[in-house]
């Protein structure tokens, strides 16, 4: 009898974004003429930039000719892209990364969930609360029940404190989804020190890195001394270049990063990931990698950062207008996310329902990210300027008394 | 201390195709002027067909405009593709598939390895020997040690026999990689009956389906009565439309297929896979799905089957010429793979070395697919007509005495 992996049955049924979609559809079926503005799911809305479009057309033409056709790609990705990643994402920040340390793939969801497979089942996993739900679910699917939540809240400014207990795997997300907060050099240094002392591994999700303003906040965890011994960094083109429908990401696994056998022998995680990818992943598409490469020119950089600026202006506008009427807001400065304290201690889902039903604005209830998110609400800056203004106008005119 | 998942340490180090690549590079460094003809890795060489190229350009243009830009896709894939899959791959063979049963993804490697996560760790897994190594490795990574090998060999014509013991999960691959053999209606019926009696699940890998000639051999396992109760079918565009560098695949998980809890409660596997994909997979790219859709027109079908015909003619030519000089060959009729008995009981790797060093022809040693592959050798038909002829000419002129 084929038995189910019972770990999957421990997952909660209500996947946050499916519930939101259902509520939206219910609203629309009752109010077919209303225009719902979505500041919910963190999906981009601006089209791909011209440099990327040109590269995709060119790569398509290469695929049309026998002489330039590309079949199976290399597991880690093409050198042309890896070399650009090293130059543009790391060298310019004084970080030295070897080609063997970069793994190009088809989206951070697959990377983040895949890496978790490499650790032993009984690993102690540290997650922040609130947290991006896929971190939790992927660990539950692997049968882990040693999941510890590090609470972030108004008291600590949604910046996690260093745990007093031992943790094996630590998920850090900065700029943070959902709270929009960032870890500065001092905070990151504390985490790297903690991980070195505990032989822990930090899974550093910085897919929103492009939203960091200026150079004071580290753009890579490897700007911190010794981070290469303990941290894996996850990056994505989804928010950097609007690739949510194109699918490209990369992971850096430093060669000096080790995990341990029960007998305390060191195992290079980089080699293990290569082996895992060889068996379970079929490389990112050639056209996709050519599209990603295209952002690494002067013109490409200018174009993508103009789009990022557009979204950041949305965030700034929302923050400013909502603060004016008395909202307490985290994030929105180095991040496309605003994390609102709901007025009068409204429950997250009540606030969601009010915004949807009275303003036709869709956001994400904070409690969907964990119990510390109760009483909070996430808004994204990824809508158009016009829709963002209209949504703010609608919210500002609601009665919260 | 972050501990490794020790299941990964049970994997063999020598990944078959990496070893082949190393040997090839060694040969080339010693013989820099020789042209090595690869009949090794099953990668296509013909460019994408015009219908696909047109669709990719069009989809790229859609991504360039705000009005038609596509962000995150639906987890299961776009309806436009799923509807065509149902019509072209199933309805025309009298098989009825519901939209909710099709999951589009980015390559069968990810699908086949992902599905294995849904079953309990102590599942008894039946693999053929010889076998595509990723099936084995993905189960080892999941910590499974109940792997049973069903031997196929010259005596049973490389057609697996129904096991006398109970198996929970059965991997069937038809047309088979590496042996090129196919399961006919009678054989498949036996497997479906076995699975129904044992409450087993068949993972039916038919990514080479397009190479089946005529309608006598089933193109889908669902042509067998009751197969929807017990079988998951894996399909890919890699060989069907030359998408090895584009990455698109689909899986069919029938709604009536169940697995069981320890308490013998039924769990719908379809729902579980949806949950898994929602958490761990970020949808196939929009452009990729548009590219796949483009083969489902009269023009698209004509174009892709012309390419398949080209490869099949290579297979036919190789089979015919090598049989003439006394080789015993399996496959090559409904498959791009020829499975050769080596002459004079040469070991697979000795035959590999001889072909590489004396003829500069690259193939795959049968023993790389399991111990029953010892003394056999796989050749693929995916090279150009000219290279295929040249390779055969070189092999025919070797001295095997």
Mean pLDDT by groups of 10 residues along chain B of 401 residues: 95 78 93 94 94 98 98 95 98 97 97 98 97 95 96 97 97 98 98 98 98 94 98 98 98 98 96 95 96 98 98 98 97 97 96 97 96 98 97 95 73
Average pLDDT over residues A93-119: 97
Q: Is residue A1 part of a domain?
A: no
Residue-level pLDDT at B231 = 98
Q: How open is the CA angle A308-A364-A318, to the nearest 5 degrees?
A: 45
CB nearest to B1's CB, from A45, A133, A168: A168
* Residue at which a domain ends, from B267, B297, B327: B297
CATH number of the domain encompassing residue A40: 3.90.1150.10
CA distance A361 to A375: 17
The per-residue pLDDT for range A288-331, each reduced to its tens digit, is 999 999 999 999 999 999 999 999 999 999 999 999 999 999 99
Return phi, psi of residue B113, to 5°: -75, -35
B120 touches A: beta carbon within 8 Å: yes
| A101 and A113 assigned to the same domain | yes
CB B118 within 8 A of CB B279: no
| A153 and A291 assigned to the same domain | yes
| B30 and B82 assigned to the same domain | no
CA distance A364 to A348: 8
**E strand or H helix that includes residue A38:** strand A37-38
**Cα nearest neighbour of B2 on chain A:** A168
* Residue at which a domain ends, from B228, B262, B297: B297
Q: Say yes or no for a CB contact (<8 Å) between A71 and B261.
A: no
CB nearest to B6's CB, from A56, A262, A282: A262
Residue-level pLDDT at B215 = 85
Q: Is residue A182 part of a domain?
A: yes
Q: Is residue B401 part of a domain?
A: no
Residue owning tokens 């700029």: A175
Q: Is the pLDDT of residue A19 over 90?
A: no
Residue owning tokens 């899986």: B251
B6 touches A: beta carbon within 8 Å: yes
Chain B partners of A110 at a C-beta cutoff of 8 Å?
110, 280-282
CB nearest to A71's CB, from B114, B122, B245: B245
CA distance B49 to A65: 9
**In the structure, what pLDDT confidence band is assigned to residue A226 with cuts at 50, 70 and 90?**
very high
CA distance A195 to A212: 24
Residues 259-288 of B with CB under 8 A from A: 259-262, 264, 267, 269, 272, 275-276, 278-288
Q: Is residue B284 part of a domain?
A: yes
| B35 and B101 assigned to the same domain | no
CA distance A173 to A183: 9
Q: Is the pLDDT of residue A260 over 70?
A: yes
* Predicted TM-score (pTM) of this structure: 0.97
Do β-strands A376-380 and B329-331 pair in parallel, antiparallel, or remain unpaired? Answer: unpaired
| A374 and A289 assigned to the same domain | no
State the distance between the two ends of chain B, measured CA to CA, in whole angstroms: 58
| Cα dihedral across residues B3, B4, B10, B12: positive or negative | negative
Q: Is residue A200 part of a domain?
A: yes
A54 touches B: beta carbon within 8 Å: no
Average pLDDT over residues A269-279: 95
Residue-level pLDDT at B21 = 86
* Residue at which a domain ends, from A234, A268, A297: A297
Residue-level pLDDT at A14 = 63
| B166 and B264 assigned to the same domain | yes
Residue owning tokens 């971190």: A135
| B305 and B289 assigned to the same domain | no
| A252 and A143 assigned to the same domain | yes
Domain extent, residue A154, equals 50-297
Q: Say yes or no for a CB contact (<8 Å) between A48 and B71.
A: no
CB B289 within 8 A of CB B77: yes
Residue-level pLDDT at A36 = 96
Q: Say yes or no for a CB contact (<8 Å) between A245 and B63.
A: yes
B135 touches A: beta carbon within 8 Å: no
Q: Distance, in angstroms, between B16 CA and closest chain A CA?
A: 11
Return phi, psi of residue A331, to 5°: 70, -165
Q: Is residue A293 part of a domain?
A: yes
Q: Say yes or no for a CB contact (<8 Å) between A275 and B106.
A: no
pLDDT mean across residues, chain A: 96
Q: Say yes or no for a CB contact (<8 Å) between B69 and A48.
A: yes
Cβ density class B275-287: b for 16+ within 10 Å, e for less: bbbbbbbbbbbbb
A21 touches B: beta carbon within 8 Å: no
CB nearest to A279's CB, from B137, B246, B384: B137
CB nearest to A5's CB, from B47, B118, B284: B118
Cβ density class B123-162: b for 16+ within 10 Å, e for less: bbbbbbbbbbbbbbbbbbbbebeebebbebeeeeebbbee
| B146 and B134 assigned to the same domain | yes
Residue-level pLDDT at A197 = 97
Chain A partners of B106 at a C-beta cutoff of 8 Å?
106, 247, 282, 285
Name the DSSP letter for residue A87.
I
What total of structural domains would you count in chain A?
2
The ipTM estimated for the assembled molecules is: 0.96
Q: Distance, in angstroms, between B399 CA and closest chain A CA?
A: 34
| A114 and A229 assigned to the same domain | yes
CATH number of the domain encompassing residue A143: 3.40.640.10
Q: Is residue A362 part of a domain?
A: yes
Residue B2, SS3? Answer: coil
Do β-strands A37-38 and A361-362 pair in parallel, antiparallel, or remain unpaired? Answer: parallel
Q: Which residues contact B75 (CB under 8 A, 6 or more apart)?
A: B103, B274, B277, B278, B281, B283
CA distance B87 to B89: 6
Residue-level pLDDT at B14 = 63
| A179 and A57 assigned to the same domain | yes
Residue-level pLDDT at B42 = 86
CA distance A277 to B107: 13
Q: Is residue A349 part of a domain?
A: yes
Chain B partners of A231 at a C-beta cutoff of 8 Å?
none
Chain A partners of B45 at a C-beta cutoff of 8 Å?
66, 69, 71
The per-residue pLDDT for range A338-355, each reduced to its tens digit, is 999 999 999 999 999 999
Q: List strand residue ranges (DSSP E) for B91-229, in order.
A: 102-105, 125-129, 147-151, 169-173, 201-205
CB B378 within 8 A of CB B339: yes
Q: Say yes or no for a CB contact (<8 Å) between B245 and A134.
A: no
Chain A partners of B4 at a C-beta cutoff of 8 Å?
118-120, 259-261, 267, 269, 272
Average pLDDT over residues A113-122: 97
| B195 and B282 assigned to the same domain | yes
CA distance A213 to B360: 56
Q: Is the pLDDT of residue A86 over 90?
A: yes
């Amino acid at each position: 009898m084929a038995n189910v992996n019972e770990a999957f049955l421990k997952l909660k049924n209500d996947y946050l974004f499916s519930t939101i979609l259902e509520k939206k559809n219910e609203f629309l079926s009752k109010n077919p003429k209303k225009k719902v503005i979505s500041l919910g799911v963190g999906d981009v809305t601006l089209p791909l930039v011209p440099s990327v479009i040109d590269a995709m057309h060119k790569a398509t033409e290469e695929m049309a000719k026998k002489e330039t056709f590309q079949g199976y790609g290399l597991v880690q990705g093409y050198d042309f892209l890896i070399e650009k990643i090293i130059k543009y994402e790391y060298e310019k920040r004084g970080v030295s990364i070897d080609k063997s340390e970069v793994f190009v793939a088809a989206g951070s969801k697959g990377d983040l969930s895949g890496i978790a497979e490499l650790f032993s089942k009984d690993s102690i996993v540290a997650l922040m609360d609130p947290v991006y739900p896929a971190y939790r679910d992927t660990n539950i699917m692997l049968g882990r029940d040693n999941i510890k939540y590090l609470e972030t809240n108004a008291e600590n400014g949604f910046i996690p404190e260093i745990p007093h207990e031992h943790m094996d795997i630590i998920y850090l997300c900065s700029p943070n989804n959902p709270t929009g907060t960032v870890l500065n050099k001092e905070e990151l240094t504390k985490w790297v020190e903690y991980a070195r002392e505990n032989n822990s591994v930090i899974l550093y999700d910085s897919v929103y890195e492009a939203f960091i303003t200026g150079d004071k906040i580290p753009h890579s965890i490897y700007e911190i001394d010794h981070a290469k011994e303990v941290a894996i960094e996850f990056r994505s083109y989804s928010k950097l270049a609007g690739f949510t429908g194109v699918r490209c990401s990369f992971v850096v696994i430093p060669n000096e990063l080790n995990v341990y056998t029960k007998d305390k022998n060191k195992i290079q995680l980089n080699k293990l990931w290569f082996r895992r990818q060889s068996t379970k992943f079929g490389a990112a598409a050639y056209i996709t990698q050519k599209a990603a490469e295209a952002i690494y020119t002067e013109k490409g950089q200018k174009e993508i950062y103009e789009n990022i600026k557009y979204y950041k202006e949305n965030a700034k506008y929302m923050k400013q207008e909502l603060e004016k009427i008395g909202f307490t807001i985290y994030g929105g400065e180095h991040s496309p996310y605003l994390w609102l304290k709901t007025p009068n201690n409204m429950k997250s889902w009540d606030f969601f329902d009010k915004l949807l039903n009275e303003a036709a604005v869709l956001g994400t209830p904070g409690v969907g990210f964990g119990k510390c998110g109760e009483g909070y609400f996430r808004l994204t800056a990824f809508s158009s300027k016009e829709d963002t203004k209209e949504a703010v106008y609608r919210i500002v005119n609601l009665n919260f008394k």
